[in-house]
């Protein structure tokens, strides 16, 4: 009996070793959102996230056990705080990343090219998955991440869950294909205008233009993006004062400062208490919580 157990243990060890060998020999060649060709070895069991949106999506997919590192800005879900930090996004700590022995680094659009080059020179594959222009593009990003880590089923389950929630709670379906409805919302004088504050003050005024997923969030919430005709993120102070939006949406932690800073105090929305502070990350990141942002804004934006 003891001999049989020993033989069985040997074959089990051999089988395990072979399976590990096969897993590490497997490699995928992928093209990321910047058109870069990246070779990923193995099945990415040690992932460093250099993007708050990717961290959130991995948790939502039930794949947090693969994460071994995150940035200082990966604040959701709160459990992410227990992971080792790799520093900021624009100033990644390369040594800290290498110490985590990752087989994949996932990032979005803010990572500096020099950091990508350094990591690749060290043999660490870096795949960039950037924020896209429309609300429903979130599904594509989830599917892309699922494919990278061979968790297509988990990605599909999350997408199905989110799509059903959109259908149930927004009482609409296929909204992304309804160009006529979008045109009516953006051009109706009865629809309240909404200005989303990305940045303000001496460094300039920045908001989300019509070619951003935030524009879709505002529309789905029942508003008309004041900057819908703008491409990109810059918006002049003169245009803001002149167009005087019905509602202003700003990150909750910036709300008080915005309302007490000249010349924003001149805006009607500030004077009449129609400045909506929103939880950071729900609207400025392309994540599942975008649905929460829509629902929250819907509860605060009232039609005349």
* 150 and 194 together in one domain: no
Region 184-205 average pLDDT: 84
Q: Check whether 207 has a pLDDT greater than 60.
A: yes
* 64 and 148 together in one domain: yes
Region 39-57 average pLDDT: 93
For position 44, which CATH number holds? Answer: 3.40.50.1980
Record the tokens describing residue 249, joined without a space.
Answer: 């949406």
Q: Are 74 and 52 in contact (CB under 8 A)?
A: yes
| Residues 6 or more apart in contact with residue 265 via CB below 8 angstroms | 259, 271
| Residues 6 or more apart in contact with residue 81 via CB below 8 angstroms | 75
Region 287-295 average pLDDT: 97
In a domain, 55, yes or no: yes
* 190 and 248 together in one domain: yes
| Residues 6 or more apart in contact with residue 296 via CB below 8 angstroms | 278, 279, 282
Average of per-residue pLDDT values in the chain: 87
Region 288-294 average pLDDT: 97
Region 120-129 average pLDDT: 94
Of 126, 160, 194, the one marking the end of a domain is 160
* 43 and 137 together in one domain: yes
Region 260-277 average pLDDT: 97
> In which domain, by residue range, is 145 found?
26-160
Q: Check whether 173 has a pLDDT greater than 80.
A: no
- At residue 17, the pLDDT reads 34
In a domain, 166, yes or no: no
- At residue 188, the pLDDT reads 63
In a domain, 100, yes or no: yes
* 147 and 84 together in one domain: yes
CA distance 158 to 163: 9
In a domain, 7, yes or no: no
CA distance 24 to 47: 15
* 202 and 234 together in one domain: yes
Q: Check whether 20 has a pLDDT greater than 50.
A: no
Confidence of residue 89 (pLDDT cuts 50, 70, 90): confident
* 204 and 285 together in one domain: yes
In a domain, 21, yes or no: no
**What residue has token string 């988990």?**
154
In a domain, 170, yes or no: no
Record the tokens describing residue 199, joined without a space.
Answer: 């940045």
Chain length of the chain? 304
* 148 and 192 together in one domain: no
Q: Check whether 10 has a pLDDT greater than 70.
A: no
Confidence of residue 232 (pLDDT cuts 50, 70, 90): confident
Please state the separation of Cα 269 from the chain's center in Å.
Answer: 28
In a domain, 152, yes or no: yes
CA distance 196 to 7: 68
* 229 and 138 together in one domain: no
Of 103, 131, 160, the one marking the end of a domain is 160
Region 67-81 average pLDDT: 96
* 233 and 286 together in one domain: yes
Task: List strand residue ranges (DSSP E) for 115-258, in order.
Answer: 126-128, 193-197, 224-225, 247-251
Q: Check whether 18 has a pLDDT greater than 70.
A: no
pTM for the complete prediction?
0.85
* 279 and 153 together in one domain: no
In a domain, 143, yes or no: yes
Q: Check whether 141 has a pLDDT greater than 60.
A: yes
Please, which residues bridge with residue 278 across strands?
251
Of 111, 130, 160, the one marking the end of a domain is 160
Region 49-60 average pLDDT: 97
* 119 and 195 together in one domain: no
Region 215-226 average pLDDT: 96
Confidence of residue 287 (pLDDT cuts 50, 70, 90): very high
- At residue 112, the pLDDT reads 84
Q: How many domains does the chain have?
A: 2
Region at 228 (left for phi over 0; alpha for psi -120 to 50; beta for the rest): alpha
């Amino acid at each position: 009996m003891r001999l049989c157990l020993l033989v069985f243990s040997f074959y089990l060890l051999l089988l395990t070793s072979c399976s590990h060998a096969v897993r590490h020999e497997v490699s995928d060649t992928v093209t990321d959102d910047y058109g870069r060709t990246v070779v990923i070895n193995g099945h990415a069991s040690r992932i460093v996230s250099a993007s708050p949106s990717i961290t959130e999506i991995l948790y939502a997919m039930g794949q947090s056990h693969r994460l071994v590192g995150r940035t200082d800005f990966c604040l959701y879900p709160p459990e992410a705080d227990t992971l080792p930090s790799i520093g900021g996004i624009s100033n990644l700590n390369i040594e800290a990343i290498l110490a985590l022995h990752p087989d994949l680094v996932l990032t979005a659009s803010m990572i500096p090219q020099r950091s990508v080059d350094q990591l690749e020179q060290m043999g660490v594959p870096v795949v960039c998955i950037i924020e896209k222009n429309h609300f429903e593009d979130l599904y594509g990003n989830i599917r892309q991440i699922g494919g990278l880590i061979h968790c297509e089923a988990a990605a599909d389950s999350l997408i199905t869950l989110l799509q059903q929630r959109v259908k149930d709670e927004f009482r609409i379906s296929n909204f992304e294909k309804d160009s006529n409805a979008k045109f009516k919302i953006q051009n109706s004088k009865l629809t309240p205008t909404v200005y989303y504050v990305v940045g303000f003050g001496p460094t300039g005024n920045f908001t989300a233009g019509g070619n951003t997923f935030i524009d879709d969030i505002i529309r789905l919430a029942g508003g008309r993006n004041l900057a819908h005709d703008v491409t990109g993120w810059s918006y002049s102070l003169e245009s803001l004062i002149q167009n005087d939006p019905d509602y202003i949406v700003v990150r909750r932690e910036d709300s008080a400062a915005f309302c007490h800073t000249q010349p924003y105090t001149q805006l009607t929305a500030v004077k009449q208490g129609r400045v909506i502070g929103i939880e950071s990350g729900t609207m400025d990141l392309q994540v599942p919580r975008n649905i929460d942002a829509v629902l929250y804004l819907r509860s605060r934006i009232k039609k005349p």
